[in-house]
Amino acid sequence: MGATRHLLDEDAIPTHWYNVVADLDSLPPPPLHPGTGQPVGPDDLSPIFPMALIGQEVSADRWVEIPAEVRAAYALWRPTPLHRAERLERAMGTRSKIFYKYEGGSPSGSHKPNTAVAQAYYNAQEGVRRIATETGAGQWGSALAFACTMFGIECKVYMVRASFDSKPYRKTMIATWGGECVASPSADTAAGRAILEKDPSTTGSLGIAISEAVEDAATREDTKYALGSVLNHVLLHQTVIGQEAKAQLAEAGATPDVVIGCAGGGSNFAGISFPFVADAAAGTGPKIIAAEPAACPTLTRGHYAYDFGDTAHMAPLLPMYTLGHGFVPDAIHAGGLRYHGMSPLVSHLVHEGVVEARAYHQNECFAEAVRFARAEGIIPAPEPSHALRALREEVEAADAEGVERTFLVHLCGHGNFDMSAYEAYLSGTLVDHELPQDELDRAAEDLEGLPALPA
């Protein structure tokens, strides 16, 4: 046997978030106002975000201090363990070393609370009494509901219909923490009503749910908006993951050759990888791989362009890889990876060649998830099963080359709420669809007429 877990002392919870912007040679172009097409300023954002987060969104400081209250909340589940996956290595028959960082021990079961508690804290500090948000798989919505109860704030969650129906227990979890959760599109917003009128049976999308939550926040004096991924400040908060992993690997005497995470909006991926980016960009760090679903291949088949972050054109235009803001992917089980766009910072790093992207189908990802569960005991969420699929590819490549490599893979959440997905996989009823190019071409028509990225 010989599982090896590397735990850090509670005092080793990072004291600062790491801002990758400080270490980039070039920066992504600025977000643009959805109405005017001009760069977004603090005044544009202040109706929906607290000032502290707006400051972090545009900060160029390398280190941002983590408030004591946020670190105290982190202590409920941080530092998270780094495991050496010795059983998986043996099952694979590889001589390479595999480490995984596990964020599933948080109260809501994923990495999402890392930014949720930070956002709830800053909102509470600025007197905000209610937060509206969207959620895909439900991980973010439940994380925010948890964070809001920690800081005494009300929480309203617009949950993508596809996940709302397939994961009903997320709604109960949110309610247990005192939050309210509705299926999106909902009748509670103008954006939701408009979409329901056009297509009453839509399975929804993150883009639609974002429109609803932003509208809610923009139209209520007592309410701000919170986003669970994509934006710079959200990615910033997640860097506690990679910082801890770096320290734990050092303690284990290991240096990663390859770092792998899944990418939906980009936040768990940024969390594990950004602390390694400066080294990677300099050619001295690990290869960094982002794994995404073939059903929503933003990085591998999307366009690098300005696009709306949401469906109803209420959110800023972001410079990012996108499939078009009207793209509605199949209702795959990895609901957290169904976003049409991608964080500007992750997009920029992919565009610069610092990060490599891969896309995989559901069945091959669940196959890896089940292998992982049987070897390592932890049942992964469908999202990080994409990272495990990329890991398999990389391990086999190392074996074929006859080299031993050290891998760091990010297990950003557990699959306790995804048992219906596992049931479907194990019973052989999951079908993989090839996404036709003409469907992608049609979706990309949404990009026509939008401002072009600077050359």
- Report the residue number, 161 or 414, with the smaller CB distance to a copy of itself: 414
Q: Which stretch binds a copy of itself (CB under 8 A): 7-15, 267-275, 291-299, 446-454?
A: 7-15
- Of 28, 83, 365, 409, which one interacts with a copy of itself (CB under 8 A)? 83
Is the peptide bond between 185 and the residue preceding it cis, with omega within 30 degrees of 0? yes
Number of chain positions touching a copy of itself (CB under 8 A): 47
To a copy of itself, the closest distance from the beta carbon of 8 in angstroms equals 9
The answer to the question of residue 15 lying near a copy of itself (CB under 8 A) is no
Contacts of 154 (CB under 8 A, 6+ apart): 129, 130, 131, 148, 178, 179, 180
* Calpha distance 124→323 (Å, rounded): 35
Binding positions for a copy of itself, 299-328, rule CB under 8 A: none
The answer to the question of residue 251 lying near a copy of itself (CB under 8 A) is no
CA angle 344, 65, 407 (to 5 degrees): 55
Helix (H) or strand (E) holding 426: helix 419-426
To a copy of itself, the closest distance from the beta carbon of 427 in angstroms equals 9
Binding positions for a copy of itself, 91-130, rule CB under 8 A: 105, 107, 109
- The closest alpha carbon to 332, from 428, 208, 424, belongs to 424
From residue 45 to residue 74, what is the string marking binding to a copy of itself with x (rule CB under 8 A)?
Answer: -----------------------xx--xx-
The answer to the question of residue 247 lying near a copy of itself (CB under 8 A) is no
Contacts of 388 (CB under 8 A, 6+ apart): 365, 368, 369, 371, 372, 380, 409, 411
To a copy of itself, the closest distance from the beta carbon of 175 in angstroms equals 5
Helix (H) or strand (E) holding 249: helix 232-251
The answer to the question of residue 379 lying near a copy of itself (CB under 8 A) is yes
Binding positions for a copy of itself, 407-436, rule CB under 8 A: 415-417, 419-420, 422-423, 426
Number of residues assigned to the chain: 455
Kindly state the tokens that stand for 370. Answer: 């089940």
Contacts of 449 (CB under 8 A, 6+ apart): none
Binding positions for a copy of itself, 137-176, rule CB under 8 A: 146, 149-150, 168-169, 172-173, 175-176
CA 307 to chain centre: 18
* Calpha distance 71→35 (Å, rounded): 38
The answer to the question of residue 373 lying near a copy of itself (CB under 8 A) is yes
Which residues contribute to the site for a copy of itself (CB under 8 A)? Answer: 1-7, 9-10, 68-69, 72-73, 75-76, 83, 87, 105, 107, 109, 146, 149-150, 168-169, 172-173, 175-178, 370, 373-379, 415-417, 419-420, 422-423, 426
